[in-house]
Structure formats: structure tokens, C-alpha cells
Amino acid sequence: MKTILDLIVEELKPAFTGCGYDEKYIRVTVSNRPDLCEYQCNGAMAAAKAYKKKPIDIANEVVEKTAGSKMFSEINAVMPGFINIRLNPCYLASYVQQVAEDEKLGLNAAEKPETIIIDYGGANVAKPLHVGHLRSAVIGESIKRISRYMGHHVISDVHLGDWGLQMGLIIEELHDRQPDLVYFDPDYTGEYPSEPPFTISELEDIYPAASAKSKVDAAFRERAQQATFKLQSGYAPFHAIWKHIMNVSLKDLKKNYGNLNVSFDLWKGESDAQPYIPGLIEDLQKKGLAYESDGALVVDIAQEGDAKEYPPCIVRKSDGAALYATSDLATIIEREQDFHPDRYIYVVDKRQELHFIQVFRVAKKAGIVKEDTPMIFLGFGTMNGKDGGPFKTREGGVMRLEHLIKNIDEKVYEKIQEKQKVPADEMTRTAEIVGLAALKYADLSNQATKDYIFDVDRFISFEGNTGPHIQYMIVRIKSILEKYKELRGADAKVVPIRPAESETEKALQMALCRFGEVTESAFYETAPHKLCQYMAAVADAFNAFYLENKILSEEDAAKQAAFISLITLTKRVLDTCMDLLGMESPEHM
């Protein structure tokens, strides 16, 4: 289904070409001055230089050629050469009805579906999720959902940190705490226990204790490094401990990601990439791409036309150890073999940009990935406290994500309790649904690359540009539809959306017809904030329409039924947007 913008361009083509102007100059946008017009064409401005004419003269010629168009109720040329357009209400209503009848709400699904890898987890095992993990999870999940709605085959990977020094630290701290465990008996030859020697709470205490100890105890740190080396070399007792760490951590991570309504297709980690590293190093050397520099093995990534100098990518340290870049390259090899992706999207802290520039360039230089395969680094900004610094607890520590979610849920619970509109048996679940939308919308409504201030009181407000405000609009529509059904019963007929008779009715119809265009833009620009902006605009348009029209008390049954068709589509659009962003709406608020 073509977008309204595409259809306007098609309508203007005969006028431009009929006046002798190339159709490539037709540029149509939604007007940012709705008081003056709904759409604007700047084609005459673009064509003026090529045809050595005044823009206003070109605009007047084109407008004259469109006389009699059934699409436009008004089209005129204004200085210095803009073409201002208003749509015919009958044409608009017909288009919005097509949107309502379309399974994808007017979205042009991908003609050639791609296989897309989205890497948006990055949590470390043996550590709880904290606020620093929020943005990658929330942004990545929305991009996954938008991509799938577009018709693409998406594989999401959590890509866990599960193979570094933290493993050796945990093993040695466990050794100090429980030296009698069979894993530390060099003479033990039996089967290793199936039950882990620690709970998730104990494990989460072991790592920070070990990390702190390694900073003041050089001998302990040396032991941890040796333990890491032994683990990575396949030492069976330590591999058995590693499996326990993984099993206990994964169960907890899946629970906490689940609380965010975030899921992954793959729960792989750095450890899965290790078998591919020897072949990677050998291939880089064979192709003459890797060379020694100060004992390390590096690959140059500088390219002609670079605006700044990029350092070589280190793929092996002087002591023979692999680095994150090596692991990430090996992971790409694994993904290429398993999935042959057409596109990669990495949702990572923007401070890692240099790292991924290096990895992507080496991957293409070495032929691991085709030169024309998009490899997108979506670097996100930080979530800050009201003081402008990194968001922390009152004690100054990093807040656990589950504690943040709990705090928001409690504040929302208090708020809905005050309103006394939610049944008692729905209170807890409603607070969870609204709290999660408040948290996610606050994050996603900002452009991903930008930092933002975490302000829970503003985020949970039922008014303004917030998740709960949009949920409140959806709940209001649900209530109207339920009451209408009770009112009309068997007489409730579904009728087509009618031509708008008021500005608010037309504004709502115009907002609804843009769903496909906005969703497509959010995918291609990896910009979920665009969907948030759109959802807010639809909610505001509905609210203005609702305040002006007494839907349930409307005496004209046909008019009332058309209103119901319009708000039914509004709810469907808002529900779809919510789902694409990983949210939902409650039954009552």
C-alpha cells in the first residue's frame, strides 16, 4: 500500500512533466505549519536553478495544471515558491479506510526480506543486571520487533561476557571460601556434581569480593589469571565450575530480562567464539593483513578519505592473549557460517564506537563479511541522574535493574491507588504494566545517541509526553468501545470511516494514515524514537477529537458508528506501536 506522500507525488507528476519539468524535483513533506497547510511541495524551489526561472512562477504553473484534482481540497502557490496542499476529506477518508482494512495498517512490508543479526545484550554472567544494561535491552528489543514487523528474519543475540578474567576471579574466590570442593582436589577423578556449589545470591557476592581483592592482592590476581588460562585451555574441574556459573546466571538473567519484556533467540557468549579464533588469526596472517607491532599482532584499518586517524586493531596481545576485538571478529565468523546475515545491528554504548569501527573494517577487509553488507553501530548515550552525572543509588552505587523496576512499580501503584479507578485484583499487574511503559517510553522517546535525565516523577505522569499518558488514551478508547457495545448491542454496525467534518477529526485521520511511513522510517534509520513521537502525536490527536466530540451521546447513529470505526482504528494503531516498542496497555487506569 502506497503512502500518502507517495500518492501526492504521483498526483503531482503529470503537472510537473506537463509543464516541462523533470519529476525528480517533486519533493513532498508533511507541513510543520498545519495552520497554513497539511502538506508542502518544495519542487519549484529545487527546479528554479536548473530551469532559470523564479520558483513562484514554476509553482504557479504546476498548481494551475492540478485544477480539478479529486485528491486536493486546496492547492496554491505561495512565495517564494512553495506549493501548499490540503487533502480532500473524501479522499482522505477513503485512504484511512484502506489502512483499517490492511493487515499491516498501510505498511509496505519488505519486498526482499533480510536475515538480520541484532546484538543488544552484553551482560556479564555472575553479575546482576544494573541500570547500565537498560538502554541496550530496551532499544535493541524495539528494533528487533520493528524489523520483524517489516517482514525480516531477525536473530537476536544476548552475547554474554562469559569467558574473561572474571571467571578466574570467581574460581579463586570460591577456592578460598570452599577449599574442600572436589573441583580443587587434584586427585579427584569422579563425576562432578550436578548441583552448583552456590546460589545466585552467593555468586553475586563472590564476584565483587574477588574483584576488590584482586586490586590489593597481587598474588590473588595472579592466581585468578592462571585459573582463567586453565579454564580457557579446557581444564575439566574449572570448566565444570564455569558450567555452574552459566546455569545459575542464565536463569537469573532470563528472569530479569523477562521483567523488561525483552527476549533473545540466542543466549551465546564470548566462549562460543573461542573455537574460531585460531582460524581467524591464521587467516589474517595468510592474507598479509596482520603484522607484528611491539610484540602484538595488529591489522591496519585506516582508509583513504578518513577525516581522522584510526589506530590499528589489535587482534592478539604480546603475551598471546586474545582481546574483545578478536572475540567479536570470531563471533562474526560464527554468525556468517550459521546464518549468512544480510545486515548486522549492534546496540552498544556509544563510547565503544572506535572498537566497532575497527571490528567492522577488519571483518570486511578480511572478507569475513561482504563489502556491501550493512554493519550498523547504534551507539546509545547514558541515563543520568538529575545532577547530570551517571544515575546512581542514594548510597552512590550502581542501581540493580530489578530494584529500579520495583521502585517505579511502587510509585505507580501509589498513583493508581489515589485515582481509585482500577479494581483491587488488577492493581499489582496494572502497576507493573504502567511502570514498564513509563520506564521504556522515557528511554525510547529520546534519540538513542543522546544522554537523558532520569526523572521518575515525570516519567510516571498520566499527562504530557509519557508512556502512561498514551496508555491512558488507549484505556479511554477501550472504555468508549465497551460502553458503545452495551449501548447498541446487536444494533452496533461496523461502518466505513467517513469524510471528516471537523479539524480534529481530520487531524486524527491524517495522523493514522502515517503509520506505515513512520514505521518504515524507524526501521531504515534504526530510530525507535520516531515511533514514540508518532504514537504521542496519534494519542494527542485522539484526545483533541475526543474532547470536541461527544461520541457516546451523539444522536446521529450513522455518525456515531463512523466515530467508533475511527477510534477503533486509533486503538489498533496505538496498540501496534506499543507492541513494537515492547509495551502494552492495561484494562483500567
What is the per-residue pLDDT across 284-306, written as a single tens digit (0 to 9) for each? 999 999 999 999 999 999 999 99
| 3-state SS, residue 290 | strand
Please give the full DSSP string across 380-434, using - where no structure is assigned: E--EE-TTSSB---TTSSPPBHHHHHHHHHHHHHHHHHHHT-S-GGGHHHHHHHH
pLDDT at 395 over 80: no
Helix (H, G, I), strand (E, B) or coil at 163: coil
Q: How far apart are CA 370 and CA 374, in angstroms?
A: 9
Evaluate if residue 56 carries a pLDDT over 80. yes
Q: Above 70 in pLDDT, residue 382?
A: yes
Single out the residue of 323, 310, 322 nearest to residue 358, CA to CA: 310
Burial of 189 (0-12, 13-18, 19+ CB in 10 A): exposed
Pairwise CA distance, residues 248 & 231, whole Å: 18
Q: Residue 412: is its pLDDT beyond 70?
A: yes
Give per-residue pLDDT as tens, 168-210.
Answer: 999 999 999 999 999 999 999 999 999 999 999 999 999 999 9
| Residue linked to cell 508512556 | 467
Q: What is the pLDDT of residue 386?
A: 87
- Helix axis angle for 353-365 and 324-339, nearest 10°, is 50
Tell me the residue length of the chain. Answer: 589
Mean pLDDT of 320-344: 95
pLDDT value for 274: 94
Domain ranges of the chain: 4-87, 165-259
The pLDDT of residue 384 is 92
CA 41/CA 28 separation, integer angstroms: 4
Q: Which three cell numbers stand for residue 62?
A: 504546476
Distance CA 474, CA 479 (A): 9
- The amino acid at residue 384 is N
| 317 three-class SS | coil
Do 77 and 83 contact (CB within 8 A), yes or no? yes
Q: What cell was used for 3?
A: 503512502
| pLDDT tens by residue, 416-472 | 999 889 999 999 999 999 999 999 999 999 999 999 999 999 999 999 999 999 999
Spatial distance between the Cα atoms of 449 and 446, rounded to a whole number of angstroms: 8
Identity of the amino acid at 573 = V
pLDDT in tens, 122-152: 899 998 899 989 999 999 999 999 999 999 9
How does the average pLDDT of the chain come out, rounded?
Answer: 95
Contact 405, 431 (CB under 8 A): no
Q: Taking a C-beta distance cutoff of 8 angstroms, is the pair 73, 86 a contact?
A: yes
Can you tell me the distance from the alpha carbon of 86 to that of 73, in angstroms, rounded to the nearest whole number?
6
Compute the half-sphere exposure of residue 204: CA atoms within 13 Å on the CB side of its CA.
13
What is residue 28's three-state secondary structure? strand
**Peptide bond between residue 34 and the one before it cis (omega within 30 degrees of 0):** no
Please name which of 126, 129, 19, 34 lies closest in space to residue 74, comparing C-alpha atoms: 34
Asked whether 60 and 49 are in contact (CB, 8 A), the reply is no
Specify the amino acid at residue 75: I
Q: Which CATH class for the 4-87 domain?
A: alpha beta
Distances (CA, A) of 389 to 139, 279, 350, 379: 21, 43, 16, 19
Cell 461496523 locates to: 494
Contact indicator for 185, 144 with CB cutoff of 8 Å:
no
Examine the pLDDT at 394 and tell me if it is beyond 80: no
State yes or no: pLDDT of 388 exceeds 90. Answer: no
- pLDDT above 70 covers a percentage of the chain that reads 99
Residue with cell 452496533: 492
The per-residue pLDDT for range 468-513, each reduced to its tens digit, is: 999 999 999 999 999 999 988 877 788 999 999 999 999 999 999 9
Cis omega (within 30 of 0) on the bond before 80?
yes
- Contacts of residue 250, defined as CB under 8 A and 6 or more positions apart, other chains included, come to 125, 267
CA 85/CA 77 separation, integer angstroms: 9
pLDDT score for 396: 67
Q: How far from 368 is each of 72, 176, 276, 336, 362, CA to CA, in Å?
A: 52, 43, 12, 8, 8
